[in-house]
């Protein structure tokens, strides 16, 4: 009888344990995947009172991904959940480290939660500059050397950072103080809508998932509408991009973010068949020999006038795009402290970037359109 009783107790214990394990597994697996249509660098799984964000591409060729637990106060977290950092949501104080993060905060109407940023002069947003001028956002130095003492004193709920590789001692120092650091890899995306979709990443930190979805849907719809309009153009002009730095012309690869814009604007990018990360370095002579007849030259570096262009090299005069005054740059539109608006807002609003390019390549399709980012170089210095 004792043996039977012992076996019965053991059976009941095992059944209870198995039930608990199944319950835990069931709780872990009951999450709902947030639909991600274009971005490849992150995933979000939502549960009742917490979410898991997995950042798969924190930097190019990353060997590991990062899992972040975003939990509401008093959330019940199963023991089996694995994560690298935990953040209590909705966040009330945040530090971000790239200007590309700023438009997402504004679109979600959470710009007032920003408490610190490395390199305030690079921020162009009018709304954010008002907060900076009111000293509500602290200067943190620069990304290569963030002032950790000031940052720690701010006691942010989270630091949203970016890194070009796995070596970032500053972020390691911050994490040791108990402040969670979350990597954002929006800059590794290769498509316009892929970058813009990272607003869903930011929405999760504020419990504004639905708001983020709506914002992205509006951007996506506007982009698709503009792309369809571009396909109605009767001609497809030839386009080059980038500019010289020292003895190399840095041209975007054909699978890059910039090249995708040109393709969707129904223009023929001169290097569309190339693939790679970043930009390829070419000799001036090779670009001139192959693409002297290009109709347009866009994203012409830091140049804002033809005078600057020719001061750098008189040889630029040989390009048809220069002779026809068809050189366009994003460097003419800046914030009050010199930050280039394109580098801040462009990734979040690809629909506006695309419309700019369509109005340049096919002006008859958008005759009254006022460009947001791209402007023609000033005429000074164009005389032959």
For residue 22, tell me if it sits in a domain.
no
> Both 326 and 193 in a single domain?
no
pLDDT at residue 382 greater than cutoff 80:
no
> Both 136 and 177 in a single domain?
yes
> Both 262 and 302 in a single domain?
yes
> Both 137 and 80 in a single domain?
yes
pLDDT at residue 361 greater than cutoff 80:
yes
pLDDT at residue 19 greater than cutoff 70:
no
**What size, in residues, is the chain?**
384
Euclidean distance between CA atoms 86 and 158, whole angstroms: 9
> 72 vs 302, which has greater pLDDT?
72
Of 110-119, 312-321, 354-363, the least confident? 312-321
- Reported confidence tier of residue 26, pLDDT bands at 50, 70, 90: very low
Q: Which of 185, 220, 255 is a domain's end point?
A: 220
> Both 197 and 293 in a single domain?
no
Model pLDDT for residues 209-241, shown as the tens digit of each residue: 999 999 999 999 999 999 999 999 999 999 999
Domain that holds residue 188: 28-220
pLDDT at residue 24 greater than cutoff 50:
no
For residue 1, tell me if it sits in a domain.
no
CB 41 within 8 A of CB 188: yes
pLDDT at residue 160 greater than cutoff 50:
yes
pLDDT of 380: 63
Closest CA to 233 of 262, 193, 273: 262
> Both 207 and 263 in a single domain?
no
- Reported confidence tier of residue 144, pLDDT bands at 50, 70, 90: confident
For residue 10, tell me if it sits in a domain.
no
**Number of helical (H) and strand (E) elements in the chain, helices listed first:** 14, 20
Residue with tokens 């690298």: 84
Proportion of the chain above pLDDT 90, given as a percent: 82
> Both 243 and 371 in a single domain?
yes
Show the tokens assigned to 216.
């992205």
- Reported confidence tier of residue 87, pLDDT bands at 50, 70, 90: very high
| Residues contacting residue 180 through CB under 8 Å, at least 6 positions apart | 68, 85, 86, 87, 157, 158, 159
For residue 202, tell me if it sits in a domain.
yes
> Both 211 and 236 in a single domain?
no
For residue 5, tell me if it sits in a domain.
no
Closest CA to 284 of 319, 326, 327: 319
For residue 211, tell me if it sits in a domain.
yes
Closest CA to 208 of 25, 32, 34, 31: 34
Mean pLDDT, range 115-128, rounded to an integer:
97
pLDDT of 25: 44
Round to the nearest angstrom and report the end-to-end CA distance of the chain: 109
Within 13 Å, how many C-alpha atoms sit on residue 333's CB side?
20
> Both 174 and 247 in a single domain?
no
Q: How far is CA 235 from CA 56, 230, 267, 362, 370, in A?
A: 40, 10, 8, 8, 22
Euclidean distance between CA atoms 269 and 129, whole angstroms: 36
> 14 vs 36, which has greater pLDDT?
36
Number of structural domains, the chain?
Answer: 2
Model pLDDT for residues 50-60, shown as the tens digit of each residue: 999 999 999 98
CB 59 within 8 A of CB 85: no
Mean pLDDT, range 17-43, rounded to an integer:
72
> 187 vs 13, which has greater pLDDT?
187
Euclidean distance between CA atoms 244 and 302, whole angstroms: 10
| Residues contacting residue 214 through CB under 8 Å, at least 6 positions apart | none
Average pLDDT of the chain, as a whole number: 91
> Both 60 and 207 in a single domain?
yes
pLDDT at residue 169 greater than cutoff 80:
yes
- Reported confidence tier of residue 47, pLDDT bands at 50, 70, 90: very high
> Both 41 and 143 in a single domain?
yes
Phi, psi of 170 (to 5 degrees): -65, -45
Phi, psi of 47 (to 5 degrees): -120, -170
pLDDT at residue 9 greater than cutoff 50:
no
pLDDT of 5: 52
For residue 226, tell me if it sits in a domain.
no
Closest CA to 262 of 342, 132, 363, 356: 356
pLDDT at residue 34 greater than cutoff 90:
yes
pLDDT at residue 123 greater than cutoff 60:
yes
pLDDT at residue 8 greater than cutoff 90:
no
Euclidean distance between CA atoms 191 and 179, whole angstroms: 32
* CATH value at residue 359: 3.40.50.1980
pLDDT at residue 131 greater than cutoff 50:
yes
pLDDT of 202: 98
* Cα dihedral: 265, 271, 276, 279 (round 10): -90
For residue 110, tell me if it sits in a domain.
yes
> Both 77 and 194 in a single domain?
yes
């Amino acid at each position: 009888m004792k043996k039977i009783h012992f076996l019965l107790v053991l059976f009941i214990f095992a059944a209870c344990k198995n039930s608990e394990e199944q319950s835990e597994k069931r709780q872990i697996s009951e999450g709902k995947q947030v639909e991600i249509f274009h971005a490849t660098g992150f995933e979000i799984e939502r549960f009742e009172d917490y979410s898991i964000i997995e950042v798969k591409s924190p930097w190019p060729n990353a060997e590991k991904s990062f899992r972040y637990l975003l939990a509401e106060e008093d959330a019940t977290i199963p023991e089996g959940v694995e994560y690298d950092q935990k953040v209590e949501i909705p966040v009330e104080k945040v530090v971000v480290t790239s200007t590309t993060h700023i438009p997402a905060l504004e679109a979600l109407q959470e710009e007032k939660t920003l408490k610190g940023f490395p390199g305030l002069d690079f921020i162009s947003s009018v709304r954010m500059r008002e907060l900076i001028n009111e000293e509500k956002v602290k200067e943190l130095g620069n990304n290569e050397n963030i002032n950790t003492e000031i940052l720690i004193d701010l006691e942010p709920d989270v630091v949203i950072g970016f890194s070009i590789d796995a070596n970032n001692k500053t972020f390691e120092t911050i994490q040791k103080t108990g402040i969670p650091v979350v990597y954002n890899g929006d800059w590794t995306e290769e498509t316009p809508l892929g970058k813009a979709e990272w607003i869903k990443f930011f929405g999760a930190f504020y419990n504004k998932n639905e708001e983020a979805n709506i914002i992205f849907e509006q951007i996506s719809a506007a982009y698709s509408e503009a792309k369809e309009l571009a396909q109605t153009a009767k001609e497809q002009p030839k386009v080059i991009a980038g500019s010289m730095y020292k003895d190399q012309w840095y041209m975007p690869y054909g699978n890059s973010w910039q090249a995708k814009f040109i393709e969707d604007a129904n223009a023929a990018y001169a290097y569309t068949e190339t693939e790679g990360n970043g930009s390829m370095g070419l000799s001036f002579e090779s670009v001139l020999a192959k693409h002297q007849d290009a109709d347009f030259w866009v994203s012409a570096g830091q140049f804002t006038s033809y005078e600057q262009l020719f001061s750098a090299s008189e040889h630029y005069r040989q390009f048809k795009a220069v002779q026809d005054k068809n050189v366009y740059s994003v460097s003419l539109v800046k914030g009050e402290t010199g930050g280039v608006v394109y580098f801040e807002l462009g990734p979040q609003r690809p629909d506006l970037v695309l419309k700019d390019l369509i109005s340049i390549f096919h002006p008859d399709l958008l005759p009254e359109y006022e460009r947001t980012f791209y402007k023609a170089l000033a005429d000074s210095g164009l005389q032959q």
